[in-house]
Amino acid sequence: MERIFNRAPINLEKAFKFDHLEKDVQKHLKNVYSTLVIGIIASAAGAYAHVFHIFQAGLLSFLLSFGLLFAILFTEHKRENMLMRLGFFTGFGFATGMNLGPLISAVSSIDPSILPTALLSTAIIFISFTLSALFNRSRSYLYMGGILLSALNILTIMSLFNIFVGSKIVMSTELYLGLLVFCLFVLFDTQLIVEKRRSGDSDFIWHSLDLFVDIISIFRRIMMILAKRSERRED
C-alpha cells in the first residue's frame, strides 16, 4: 500500500503537451479549436434565437447556411481575408444553430433533460475521440477515409429511401450508424488536420468547419436517439 501512495503524482500538464507534434502544428491546432469554440457559441446563439422566437428557422436560414458555407470555401485563405472568413464561419454557426432550433424545441417538449444530456454526451465523445487521435503517433486513423466516405453515402441513400418508405427500423439504423460514423470522423478529421498542416495547409477556419460539422451531426443524432427512447418509455 505504501508503494501505491508514495508514487509521484501524475503531471497532467506534461501529459497534455503533445510534444510529439511540431510547434507549428500545435499552434495551428490552438487556432482550430479556438475557432471551433466561436462556431459552437454562435450555434448556441442561433438555437436560442429560434427557441425564444427572436428569429425563426426556415428556408431562409437553410439557404443562408449554404451561402455562408460556399463563401468560406471560395474566399481565399490569406491574412487580409481572415476576419471576413471568420465572420462567414460565425454566421454559418449561427444559421446552423437556428436550423437545429425546431429539433431542440421538439425534444425539449418530450423531456427537458434530453438537451443537457445530449450536450454532455457530445462533449465527452468529442473530447475523448479528439484526444485519442492526437495521442496516436501513427497515422492509422487516416486509412479509415475511404470506408467513412462509403458509409456516408450509404447513410444518404438510407435517408432518401426512408422518405418514401417511412420505416422506423431504417430510421433507427440510420441514426445509430450515423452516430458511429461521425464519431469515427472525429478521429479521421483530427489526424487529417494535423497532416494537412504538416503539408503546409494552414487554413484553420476550414479545418474548424470540418470538426464543427462532426459535432453538430453527433449532437443531432444523440438528441433524436434520446427522444425516441423517452417516447418508448412513455408508451
pTM flag (> 0.85): yes
> What are the residue ranges spanned by the domains of the chain?
22-228
Q: Which of 14-18, 35-39, 103-107 has the lowest mean pLDDT?
A: 14-18
Say how far apart CA 42 and CA 60 lie, in whole Å: 17
With a pLDDT cut of 70, the percent of the chain lying above it is 91
Say how far apart CA 208 and CA 197 lie, in whole Å: 13
- 128-173 pLDDT tens trace: 999 999 998 888 899 999 999 999 999 999 999 888 888 889 899 9
Say how far apart CA 145 and CA 58 lie, in whole Å: 33
- Provide CB contacts within 8 A for 62, sequence distance 6+: 95, 99
Residue ranges with strand state E in 29-116: none
Which residue has cell 433507427? 172
- Provide CB contacts within 8 A for 133, sequence distance 6+: 141, 186, 187, 188, 190, 191
Say how far apart CA 101 and CA 117 lie, in whole Å: 16
Say how far apart CA 56 and CA 77 lie, in whole Å: 32
Sign of CA dihedral 208, 213, 218, 222: positive
- 60-119 pLDDT tens trace: 999 999 999 999 999 999 999 999 999 999 999 999 999 999 999 999 999 999 999 999
- Helix, strand or coil for residue 10? coil
The three cell numbers locating residue 69: 458555407
